[in-house]
Each structure stands twice: as C-alpha cells, then as structure tokens.
Structure 1
C-alpha cells in the first residue's frame, strides 16, 4: 500500500492527542480537492480520531494500516462545495 500516490505528507510521529488531528486539519487546508495526504503517526488514538475526522468533514479515508507501531493513513480531500450568498 505504500505505492499510493500522495501529494503531501504529514509526519505526526511522536505527537499525542490532540496534536495529530490538529495538524491534519491544517494540512488538509493546504491541499486541493481530490489530492491525497499521507499521514504517519505513532499515537494509537489516531486509529479512532482520524477516522472520525474524515467522517465528520467528508474526506475519504482511502487506506489505513499499522506497521511496527506506526499508523499510516491516506486521505483524499473532498471536493469543495459551492456556496451562494
């Protein structure tokens, strides 16, 4: 699964809740719709928090995996919604 092409990478290794999700929110704002962000973390709570983040904000969690106590996520940013005032 490491072959999933991604446009940006967030290194959250060594960070603990709530930092990984806070940084994830910042990084998602930097990328364009339909681009993929890869996240690497060591906090086991990310297995819950990142899934909920994606569900709540509508981003697609393409893949997640655990390897040697490191957690990897590939997240596709949702398409922007048109807003009319």
Structure 2
C-alpha cells in the first residue's frame, strides 16, 4: 500500500455483496470532503463494485490492489 495518509478505515473482510458497498455508503456519508477512507475486503466483487460506486457518486479512487487475498481501496471523499 502507498504512503497516502488515511483518515478512516472500514473493514468489510468476510462480508459479501452487497454488504461492503452498503457499509461504504454509510461510512463515507459521515466523512468530510477530502477525507481518505481505506476499505479492506475479501469479496472479489468489490473489484467491480467499489470503482463503480466512486465514479457514480463523485469520489476519487486513489488506489486499489490486493495483498494476501485482501483487497484494499483508498477513496477520497468528493
């Protein structure tokens, strides 16, 4: 993972669609514009769902990747 300063973390490991995106939607609403949220997930569908979520709602997906079967996303609230 990069050296981006994360403001908040959301751990959705073990949860499956649609729960990770539902939890992301709830948490990102509570953040201030510009805050950076790190999301951790094990559901492969998040590789499709989270980028679409960001594009649709105007948030910036700064980084995404996979490490040791954990998907991670760094999202800056728009």
Shorter chain as denominator, the TM-score bin is over 0.9
Looking at structure 1, the residues matched to 65 and 37 of structure 2 have their Cα atoms a distance apart, in angstroms, of 14
Deviation of residue 2 (structure 1)? 4.2
Moved runs in structure 1, 4+ residues, more than 6 A? none
Q: What TM-score does the superposition give when structure 2 sets the normalisation length?
A: 0.96
User: What is the aligned partner in structure 1 of residue 7 from structure 2?
Assistant: 7
1:5 alignment partner, SS class: coil
1:15 alignment partner, SS class: coil
Could you say what the CA RMSD is over the residues aligned between the two structures, in angstroms?
Answer: 0.8
When Rg is computed on C-alpha atoms for both structures, the one with the higher figure is 1
Q: What TM-score does the superposition give when structure 1 sets the normalisation length?
A: 0.89
The reply on whether 1:20 has 2:23 as its aligned counterpart is no
Structure 2, gaps ≥5 residues long: none
Count of residues in correspondence between the two structures: 78
User: What is the aligned partner in structure 1 of residue 50 from structure 2?
Assistant: 50
CA deviations 1:28-52 (Å, max 9, x no partner) are: 0111001100000000000000010
